[in-house]
Every structure is written in C-alpha cells, then in structure tokens.
Amino acid sequence: MIPPGFKQDLLARIDIVEIVGRYVQLKKAGINFKGLCPFHGEKTPSFIVSPSRQTYHCFGCGVHGNAIDFLMEHGGLGFIDAVRDLAQQVGLAVPEDDSTPEERAQAQQQRERQGTLTEVLERAAAHYRKQLKASPRAIDYLKRRGLTGDIAARFALGYAPEGWRSLASAFPHYDDPLLAEAGLVIVQDDGEDARRYDRFRDRVMFPIRNVRGEVIGFGGRVIDQGEPKYLNSPETPVFVKGRELYGLYEARQALRQLGYALVVEGYMDVVALAQLGFPNAVATLGTACTAEHVHKLLRFTDTLVFSFDGDAAGRRAAVRALEAALPHASDTRTIKFLFLPPEHDPDSYIREHGRDAFALCVADAVPLSRQLLDTARQGLDLSTAEGRAHLLAAAKPLWNQLPDGVLKQQILADLAQAGGLNAPDLLDLWQGRPPATGKGPRSHAGDAPRRRGWRGRDEPPRPAGPRTPPPGPADNALRLLLQHSEWWDRLSAEDHQFLHELPPPHGELCAWMERFLAEHGPAPWPALESALADHPLLEAARRAISGLAVADVVRFDDLRRSIDQLWIERLTRESHQLARHVGADPLALHRLREVNERIQRLRALAQPG
C-alpha cells in the first residue's frame, strides 16, 4: 500500500503539462493547454490540460484525471507502476509500508538490474536497425512482403547478419554476462573454454517493447528456408511470454480510437495489418493466449477480437483463448472469435479481398457465448441423449469460469436448451441440488447397503474389484505421453489433431496436455499431476499412469507404434464404409485405394525388424 500522503506529495511536485506533453502535442489556450485527445479519434482538439488544477479532461469522450491516472490509462500501467514512474522522475523514494529493509533493497536491486538489461536490449535493437539499412537482401525481403520503410521504422524492424558474432561490433565486451542474461548470446559449456555466439543470425528482427516502449526481447524471422521459422528471445527478468503482447506499445492509441483489439498469431501479421489499415492488432509471443494477456488488453479496450486460421491448429488455439478470456467476460465487455479460411492469414486475406472485406469479417466474428457452445459440442451428435449429456459435461468447467452476471445466466439458458433441459434444472444438477421437479427427500449414501434397480427391485451387490480390460493402443499412447511429454512435439500436426479427436478421456487429456506444453514446455509426470490438481481430468490421468504396466525402458518408437495402430483402426473403419459406396460414388474407389495403401504402409512399419 502507498500512503495517501505520499500520493498527494508526488502530485504536488509533478507538472501534468510536462507529463501529458510527452505523448500529446499541446498548445497554449488561455490559462490551459489544448490538444487532440489520445483516448479517442478526433480532428478538432477537445482535450484540455489544466496546470492550475493539475488535471486533464476531454470534452469529447469524458475522460479525466491526474498525472497518475494519465499514465495508467495511456500507458497501461498499474497504479503502483505509475506512482513509481512519476516518483523516479522527481527523485522520490516510494515508501514500502509492508516490506522489510532487506526486501526493499532487493526490490531496488531487481529494478536496477532490469533497467540495465533493457539498456542492453535497446543497444542491440539499434545495432539490428543499422544492419537492416546495410542489407539489400533483408530490405528486399520486407518489400516482397509488402512492407514500406515507414512501417519498418515505426516498428523498429532490424536485421541480424549471418555471422556468428555480429554483436561483437555493437558491444565492446562480447563476453559480458549481460548479453547472455538478456538472451542475445548463447554460451555453451562453462569455464575458460566456453563458446559464445549470437542467438539471432540471418533473421529479420522484430523488437518486442513493453507498454513503456522499452525493448524487452526480440522475435527473429528467417529470410529464406530454415528452422525454426520464428525464433523468440528466451524468458528473462524483463521478458515473460505469458505477460507480453507484440505490438501493444505501437497499438495503444489505435485501440482506443477503433474501440477494439485485434489479437492475431504472428509478428508479421501485426506489422502488415498496421500498414493495411488495422493498427490495433497485437500478437501473443509464440505461446498460447493467457488470462494475463486478456487482462492487459482490457486496460485499453472493452472489446477483443481473436483472429485465427481456420485449420485444426487455429481451432485449438481458439479453445485456449476462450479459456483465457472466460474469467474476464463481464456483462460490459465484448469478446469475439474470427476464423479465416484455412488458406489465409489476415495479411493475405486483406491483400486478396480488400480492407472492407476483412472489416466485415471482424464485424461478423463469433461472440464468446456461441464460441463456448461450439467448443463444448464439437464432434458430438446432439440428436442423441449421449451427445447432449457429453455437451453439458464439456461445457460445465467452461461456464464455471464466467464471472457472475447476466451474460453467465444467458449462456446457461443457451446450454440448457442445447442439452435438452431447462435452465433451473441444469443449474441444480451442476450445483449438486435435487432437481426442482424431483419428489421426496434426497437419499444418502449410507442409507441403503444395496443398489436399487430401475424397477425398484434389490440388486445383488457387484463383486468387489471389477476386472479391468486390457490396455488398448489409446491407453498406451496416453500413458507414454504423460510419462514423456517432450515426445508431443515430435508428432505431426495430423497426429495432434487425430489424438484430439479420440473419445474421452483420451482426447480431452491430449488437448489439455497441448495447452500445458504451449505455456510451460515439457514436464515430467509429477509436474503434470500437480498442474491437473482440482481438474476433472486428474483421475483419468492417474488411471492412465497407474493402471497400466510400465516397461523398464520405453522409446519414442513405442509411442509411434501405438498411434500407428490407432490410425490402422480408424482407416480400416473408413475402408469398410468406402467399400459400401464404391458402386454409387466413383470418387469413393479412388479414396478407398489411398486408404488401403496407407494401411499397408502402417502395417509394414509395425512389423518387427
């Protein structure tokens, strides 16, 4: 907590005209200053800054406040960060009421360390910008992608040359530990024989800036062929992927002017969209969208539109974004999901169909309420009782994440209708209450030693310890993935989608694992078990691990054989279906041959030796 007296003392020492004037061009207007409002688009200035009252006010959109409020609203800072920013400018030390002297000293040391790292990263960014100007090949690549010099300058794009130690010309001491700590240099082996070389080589460089404009990391895009296509800075004391958004610093004003944030998947999408008339685009940094990403964006706007490719990977990314957005989906916010055709990203769609066509796509994006329902019923047959029951089971954990309010109640009604129930009965079921239409008191577990049959007759108790069926290939595949989560990335995108489509709980656990790996990376089973705490899938995961015999030594080939066996089973079913339609559908014969050939290839791979 910051004492109120300190806040008043701080505001008394700050000149709000100077603070606001760094971001808004102000002109003297009598005793006040006037400029274009940074919080909404306007052509006639209606934004007034009063030096006598030390406040600002916009007669157009109604925003008003003091210097702290301005930094919070315009810079996206929290209250504590805004106070510290202003205090540093006037040489005041922010009192830390609840911390010890040691904790304050440690916090100060951490701030100084972070400041040093951002200085190092800014110096590297200047070096990369200079190298871009000297590289016709890199400039030609950007031109071929349709980017202008102005947009490259706005986003401070650069180029990392092909050499192994290009940064040695930018830093007098290439062995400075700060270069490695900032993620710019890789150090192999410890001791005197340590090898150092640049992390980024022969890549177009995208500086990642925080809301203050400080460089905190980089994304590098390979120019020609090479892997990985995009390379990101590792996490450092100043850069945490789950908290930062690329392009947010550049998009701040556009978010308020256009009224919404467009969340896309890549650096190039953000830069290209800014040039094509959508400067309000931001991107997550090679990781799934997190609740913290959503919370940060909602400081600037109450409307978010997530844009994804229409392929299977895009659908999975949309599920992760939905889960991140649900806790923030209040009655006064709008969250939508835009799916482009599989062959397009936002850049290519606008260039082929035009800006207005893409704007229509944004306007017609799927609202969160419908996206929740679509996610829960994916792959289900709602004409059956089983399908409707599965829908409600899948929707419950999503619905529970919503904040209380009108929207939550309306979505409950939509889910109840899709599941064939009325809303009060569904709510009773989910909250463990007897349905309102039920008769008589609820029975308790200890009241009857024997189970009652559907006609009321006593049924004999089931024998203890029912026989467990032998594990199938889906069980083996799930067990191996839980034991060796690092193998997930060795599977193809087709395998990923196939595993997602397995019946529950296998498919659900694979989907959960992919989300976990995207945010945290590979982890051993104990870490996965801990992350699943309080999750409905925990017991299924434990059964997969403990209910199966574990070989002394397992290899990736064991996982591959299990998945191939699942493919054989699925393709065999498809083959039987195709065989029944060959006479009526000429295309079925061609597909039948393809399927049978693939089955034979998979069976050959499964043969020992």
CATH number at residue 31: 3.90.580.10
Q: Which two tokens stand for residue 461?
A: 């108790």
| Res 462: pLDDT | 44
Contacts of 52 by beta carbon, 8 Å cutoff, 6+ apart: 31
Domain with 12, as residue range(s), is 4-90
Q: Which of 197, 232, 267 is the last residue of a domain?
A: 232
Both 304 and 225 in one domain: the answer is: no
Please indicate whether residue 465 or residue 523 has the higher confidence score (pLDDT).
Answer: 523
Q: Does position 464 have pLDDT exceeding 80, yes or no? A: no
Q: Which of 339, 364, 389 is the last residue of a domain?
A: 364
Both 252 and 340 in one domain: the answer is: yes
Both 488 and 593 in one domain: the answer is: yes
| Res 4: pLDDT | 65
Find the mean pLDDT for residues 67-87. 85
What's the CA gap between 294 and 334, in Å, rounded? Answer: 12
Whether residue 156 contacts residue 97, with contact meaning beta carbons closer than 8 Å, is answered with no
Find the mean pLDDT for residues 281-299. 87
Both 111 and 156 in one domain: the answer is: yes
Both 382 and 360 in one domain: the answer is: no
On whether residue 32 sits in a domain, the answer given is yes
| CATH number of the domain that residue 124 is part of | 3.90.980.10
Domains identified in the chain, total number: 5
| C-beta neighbour count of 69 within 10 angstroms | 16
Q: Does position 326 have pLDDT exceeding 50, yes or no? A: yes
Both 154 and 227 in one domain: the answer is: yes
pTM of the model: 0.65
Both 116 and 214 in one domain: the answer is: yes
Closest C-alpha among 71, 76, 489 to residue 282: 76
Q: Does position 576 have pLDDT exceeding 90, yes or no? A: no
Both 217 and 262 in one domain: the answer is: no
Mean pLDDT across the chain, nearest whole number? 84
| CATH number of the domain that residue 292 is part of | 3.40.1360.10
Query: What percentage of the chain has pLDDT greater than the value 70?
Result: 88
- The sheet carrying 64-65 orders its strands as 27-29, 32-35, 47-50, 55-58, 64-65
| Res 161: pLDDT | 95
Whether residue 390 contacts residue 429, with contact meaning beta carbons closer than 8 Å, is answered with no
Please indicate whether residue 327 or residue 312 has the higher confidence score (pLDDT).
Answer: 327
Find the mean pLDDT for residues 38-56. 85
| Res 277: pLDDT | 92
Q: Does position 316 have pLDDT exceeding 50, yes or no? A: yes
